[in-house]
Copies of this chain bind each other. A is one copy, B any other.
């Protein structure tokens, strides 16, 4: 992803990106049933944007997951937290199981301090009230206090995974807003960002017009020539 791409993706919505992906035949890139951990999120919070760095969990077997496993510095969960590149998004395949935690506030804080862009799991976080108060993007299904060892065994770092029914390949670009998280295949991130910026300009124009009382017919989409003219004029006026 180009630096300008990251910047562009900070200002477009996951909804707009989903439509751009849909136009390319990619219908299943929105991570299902995963939400911002901070339910009182400020709407001005910028998007989470970063390349996927993944962690794969499998079901825990009791004898392999006593509390002592964390004494091993090579434990994949701890190792991944220390090695995830700054600017990346840490994505966990928790098999959509939120009955035990995927991670807690200490690890999430460590990721934040290390400059990671955000964390996503299709399971749940523990210490979720603390995580909600961090100035850090954290997406999960629902709060979950039990330690991850209860149900999850951390296994692989940076392999392709599933998360919320979406394929996530290392390096894919993840974008998160107040709605949720979308996964953009790495090779189309730049072009998709461009397209989404264009779409966003048009949607902003339409929103203004609708707030002013205009019908959506002929405007959205702009099948009326007058809509296209008005949009061109609006772009000029607003420098978009």
Chain B residues near A145 (CB, 8 Å)?
13-15, 17-18, 30, 179-180, 182
Q: How many copies does the complex hold?
A: 6
Q: Interface digits, A192-225 against B, CB 8 Å rule (1 contact, 0 not)?
A: 0000000000010011001101011110110100
- For residue A86, CB closer than 8 A to chain B, the reply is no
A74-113 CB mask vs B (1 if < 8 Å, else 0) is 0000100110000000000001000101001111011001
A78 contacts which chain B residues (CB < 8 A)?
Answer: 216-217
Q: How far is the CB of A32 from chain B (nearest CB, A)?
A: 6
The answer to whether B167 and A60 have CB atoms under 8 Å apart is: yes
Interface size class of A (residues with CB under 8 A): 35 or more
Q: Which residue of B lies closest to A223 (CB)?
A: B71
User: Is A40 part of the binding interface, using a Cβ–Cβ cutoff of 8 Å?
Assistant: yes
A5 interface contact, C-beta 8 A: no
- Whether B110 contacts A167 by the Cβ 8 Å rule is no
Q: A6 CB to closest chain B CB, in angstroms?
A: 19
The answer for the CA separation of A25 and B27 in the assembled complex, in Å, is 12
Cα of A126 to Cα of B18 in the assembled complex, Å: 10
CB pair A215–B110 under 8 Å, yes or no, is: yes
A185 CB-CB contact with B under 8 Å? yes
Query: Given A62-B27, A142-B35, are A106 and B185 neighbors across the interface (CB < 8 Å)?
Result: no
Q: A11 on the interface (CB 8 Å rule)?
A: no
Residue-wise interface mask of A (38-77) relative to B, using a CB-CB cutoff of 8 A (1 in contact, 0 not)? 0111010000000000000011111110010011010000
A164-183 at interface with B (beta carbon < 8 Å): 165-167, 177-180, 182
> For chain A residues 134-161, which have a beta carbon within 8 Å of chain B?
142-147, 149-150, 153, 155-156, 159-161
Chain A residues with a Cβ under 8 A of chain B? 13-15, 17-19, 22-30, 32-33, 35, 39-41, 43, 58-64, 67, 70-71, 73, 78, 81-82, 95, 99, 101, 104-107, 109-110, 113, 126-129, 133, 142-147, 149-150, 153, 155-156, 159-162, 165-167, 177-180, 182, 185, 203, 206-207, 210-211, 213, 215-218, 220-221, 223
5 closest A-B pairs by CB:
A129-B178, A15-B126, A14-B145, A15-B145, A59-B167
